[in-house]
Copies of this chain bind each other. A is one copy, B any other.
Amino acid sequence: MTTPPQPAICLQYGLGTRAAYEAAQKSSQASFYAPIAVAITGVGLVGGELINQILALSAPSPFRIVSLSSSKHTLFSPQGLSLTPTSWKADLLEAEPMSPDVLQRKLIDLVSPNGKVVFVDNTSSEAVAARYPSLLEAGVNVITPNKKAFSGDAGLYDRIVAASKKSGAKFLNESTVGAGLPIISTLKDLVATGDKVHKIEGVFSGTMSYIFNNFSNGQEGGPSFSSVVRVAREKGYTEPHPADDLSGSDVARKLAILTRTIPSLQSTIPLPQGFKSVPTTTLIPEALSSLTSPESADEFTNRLVEFDSESDKLREDALKDGAVLRYVGVIDVKEGIVKADLQRYPKDHAFATSLGGSDNIISFHTERYGARPLIVQGAGAGAAVTAMGVLSDLLKLV
């Protein structure tokens, strides 16, 4: 009674299950190079940091980097590229021209039972994201901090889920929300173990966090909104055009991603079909809404001062009620609300007291964490922590 029956399917190969299994095991252990082939597209700040983090893993590494691609060039070697932290940039500059179609075909050809193939997309490109379904369907795993595919229209997302289900290849996107913070993995754990999510609420944008931690700190007075945005821009905490942060769309994208991580939500609240349908409060003054082109960034930033009296009043009104302002994302399952909004929080609320710098803070109110939420807090942006989130996803495939 101790050995489970051997399913018939195995016997037709003329092998017992154990032998077939051990053969497969040993073949992988005996392979001549690291079993997981990693192709990295996008070698900017995050991509560069990721390459360095992978190269710094202690030997024997489970990964071999089979491809590096910028928008212009691509390196490829099925056995793994010989990369060093100091030379890969020069190597890539001299490499052959990048052809996304050729790269995709080569990666698909690499898929074999001997080891996994992973496509890592460090771009923010919609065109690259559009390739995920084909890659997944052919068995190539996809790992990315690129929010486009998971926060965009339902069609692409549905095809990603279907392709992954069909082939068994995984898509992992921890870094799309909170960078290296354990946000998506925590939510997946809560849901997978049967907990019921009541509400997710948080400061999801590092830029918005910095702006409001400085603008509305619970004290009388304080710097003007326009000056805080100006300083944030000078420090590199905003996108090149601050309107890209102030629109709230980054928060809306993260909310779309989180709602999709909880499939059961679909039966309880009307889910946004992508970030554009998340009710989103913009902080772009209407009079400046035409100044969103890249070349208008300076004019936009300069003219924000015209609206400081309005933001001063918001801050004062909040303070009269003992509250601060925070730009938050909310998924309220009980109330059926998903929104990106500027809200007031009492001065003794965690969003007021424990936030600093450009921290993210996300609170999970669930059935099991009933009285008080599970909270994750920390830097939610930056190349090192974003790359770390990508690498921790990669390590989940080992």
**A binding-site residues for B, Cβ under 8 Å:** 1-10, 13-15, 17-24, 26-27, 30-33, 53, 56-57, 78-79, 106, 109-110, 112-115, 180-182, 185-186, 189-190, 192-195, 348, 350, 353-354, 356-357, 359, 364, 368-369, 371-379, 382, 384-385, 388, 391-392, 395
Contacts and interface: CB of A to CB of B under 8 A. Distances in A.
B193 A53 contact: yes
A37 to B, nearest CB: 9
B368 A385 contact: yes
Given A13-B20, A15-B15, A369-B379, 4 more contacts: A4-B79, A56-B194, A182-B182, A376-B377
Contacts of A8: 30
Given A5-B32, A23-B15, A395-B193, A368 B350 contact: no
B9 A53 contact: no
Contacts of A30: 7-9
Contacts of A31: 4, 7
A372 B357 contact: yes
Contacts of A21: 24, 27, 113-114
B388 A368 contact: yes
Nearest to A357: B372
A357 to B, nearest CB: 5
Q: Which 10 A-B pairs have the closest CB atoms?
A: A21-B113, A374-B378, A2-B109, A353-B353, A20-B23, A7-B30, A375-B377, A10-B27, A21-B24, A354-B354
